[in-house]
Amino acid sequence: MDRDEKYMLQALEEARAAASEDEVPVGSVIVYKDRILGRGHNMSQKLCDPTAHSEMIALTAAASSIGGKYLNDCTLYVTVEPCPMCAAALNWAQIGRIVYGASDPKRGYSLFTPSLLHPRTEVKSGVLEEECSKLISDYFKSKR
């Protein structure tokens, strides 16, 4: 297993925590070198807060952990392509790299132009895509 898969498994663990709380199952971790600085899962129902996406929670935790707003040398692992809110937040943080599992063709940040991401942010997609995608589709199937 490579490093990206290792941390995506951690993000999947967060996503499963969301599922068990009946939230849309998305999870995130933010990594600096070989250390997790922040983690989060979607809590928007529980907190009654439309901004409480996994990426925002992980970002706030990571920035607080390093005592600074910029995460240039960090990687965000997230099970699903970030929405525009989260992408723009990651731009403010100048995150170094984003690795995501499943694409979100309806609400993903990549639908928008110009890019919502910081010009120096690298992106990799499709890591453990099947597991990430299955969690989401199982959740929405259970809601029908």
Hey, how many other C-beta atoms are within 10 angstroms of the C-beta on 72? Answer: 14
- Cβ closest to its own copies, residue 114 vs residue 142: 114
130 is an active site residue = no
Q: How far is the CB of 36 from its own copies (least distance, A)?
A: 18
* Of 39, 37, 41, nearest in space to 15 by CA: 41
What is the amino acid identity at position 80?
Answer: V
Applying CB under 8 A, the residues found at the interface with its own copies are 44-45, 47-51, 56, 59-60, 63-64, 66-70, 83-85, 87-89, 91-93, 111-114, 116
Catalytically annotated residue among 55, 81, 129, 130: 55
Q: How far is the CB of 115 from its own copies (least distance, A)?
A: 9
Q: What are phi and psi of 12, to 5 degrees?
A: -65, -35
Biggest CA pair distance of the chain: 43
Catalytic residues: 55
